[in-house]
Amino acid sequence: MKILEVLQKEAILVNLNARDKKGVLDELATPVARIANQDKEDLVRVLIERERLGSTGIGGGVGIPHGKFKNLKSLCLGFGLSHKGVDFESIDGLPTHLFFLLVTPENSTGLHLRVLAKISRILKNDEFKQRLLNAVDSDEIFSIIKEVDEEF
């Protein structure tokens, strides 16, 4: 599965304003909930419940908040960039700048894991991460992801 098959441009946020984990989840959930035709507060609640199990801040400036949502019909993906960085309780204790928000239907464990694995794999590429960090708008982020999406 290609990332751009599920990441819509309107779910790409280039200048996250939030300064804490809850704020980031709320901000990222806004366009994703609209695209998925779901209640944003319910979506945020699912994401916070998942965070209680352990932070999805995987280190290296990256966070992949994710969760399974009962009434969702198909996988939804969002992206956020925080130039300032956010304390996302990352495993390395460093600020998090790049976020991929993933929500999948409750009964789609295989798909959920495959997409998480793909996102994790491409985010190991330091040049890719640096290009995302330097991006100025959603079109540029979309293009950067498209290039890497073709390679994996």
The verdict on whether 66 is a catalytic residue reads yes
Alpha-carbon distances, residue 73 vs 23, 49, 127 (angstroms): 25, 20, 34
Q: Could you tell me if residue 61 is left (phi over 0), alpha (psi between -120 and 50 degrees) or otherwise beta?
A: left
Alpha-carbon distances, residue 119 vs 1, 23, 39, 87, 113 (angstroms): 11, 22, 25, 21, 10
Q: Which of 66, 83, 97, 112 is catalytic?
A: 66
Residue 122 CB coordination number (10 Å): 17
Distance CA 110, CA 30 (A): 25
Mapped onto helix, strand or coil, the DSSP state of residue 42 is helix
- List, by residue number, the catalytic residues: 66
